[in-house]
Amino acid sequence: MAAGCVIGVDLGGTKLLAGTVDSKLEVHHRAYRLARPDDTGELIDQLVETVQEAIEAAPGEVLTVGLGVPCLVDPHTGIALDSNHLPLRGVAVRDLLTERLGLPVVVDNDANAAMLVEWRCGEARGTQNAIMLTLGTGIGGGLIVEGRLVHGARGAAAELGHIIVDADGPPCPGSCPNHGCLEALVSGHAIGVEGLRVARAAPDSALGRALRSGRDVTGALVTELAHDGDPAACDVMTLMGRRLGLGVVTLVNIFNPEVVVVGGGAIAAGELLLAPAREVVASRALPINRKDVRRVPARFGAESGMLGAACMALDLAGVAIE
């Protein structure tokens, strides 16, 4: 690509993905890490190492780096103000990476990044009001209101995973002080927790047999067994979808969006999760709000965050998406 490439980075609660991306949003290389250090310095080192791998694989000059992080981020300074899952509190991520990499860096919340690419090029394209939910280790949110990405006063807007669905529900993981947040009830972590409960209660199910064989009952395993038709795993996904639907009902009643896009790793469940969510929205949202809203999986799937970060980097470099 004559104009050069950028690096888009999606830092999640349990994984790290950096992509070498051109102006057509084509990915030339993916650098992937599963480990997540609990120390801030080690986490920054891992970020730098992963980005450098992506830089070395670039087919041309690398212009800028975009980073999406599961944090409250000050959009003006690139400082990670707080994170529910990572050791990033008051950390000047943008400046640290700029110094270590020798390239301009832009940082934003990971779900904001995912919303950006789905709005520019994906399922929310052409809309003026849209919602993004990213289901992974936690649940992130992004908002387009009247054609603008919403950051709030300090970059802490659209923490949609922390709307309270059940005041007497389970404690929210990480540093969130609440109980019954959407994140506590529907995230990849929550799917695993419910899957483990069901596996113990139904030892003759595929979930129960997997537990007895020593396998970890994770959200990914529950999803896999549900796709294979295990009734117990399917029941877990139905419950998760209904809970997701309750959260979406609240959001569509507040924001009246044209589309709700659901992405993140947990969206691998597909219609097992989305179909029961749609049923709840169709029956419980205000009629005018549910009438035209679409509820769809992200066009870019689990890579929305990485490609959204690449969009941010392209904007910083002044390169238009083709």
pTM score of the predicted model: 0.91
| pLDDT (0 to 100) of residue 153 | 85
Q: Domains plus CATH for the chain?
A: 5-115+303-317 (3.30.420.40), 124-298 (3.30.420.40)
What digits encode the pLDDT tens for the residues 74-110? 988 999 998 888 889 899 999 999 999 999 999 999 9
| pLDDT (0 to 100) of residue 3 | 65
| pLDDT (0 to 100) of residue 2 | 43
Q: Say how far residue 95 (Cα) sits from the centre of its chain.
A: 24
What digits encode the pLDDT tens for the residues 111-153? 999 999 999 999 999 999 999 999 988 899 999 999 999 998 8
Q: Does 95 qualify as catalytic in the annotation? A: no
Burial zone of 322 (CB within 10 Å; 0-12 exposed, 13-18 middle, 19+ buried): exposed
Of 12, 2, 4, the closest CA to residue 308 belongs to 12
Catalytic: which of 74, 110, 228, 235?
110
Give the orientation angle of helix 231-255 with respect to helix 271-284, to 10 degrees: 40
The DSSP bridge pattern shows strands 5-11 and 62-69 to be parallel
Ranges under pLDDT 50 in the chain: 1-2
| pLDDT (0 to 100) of residue 13 | 77
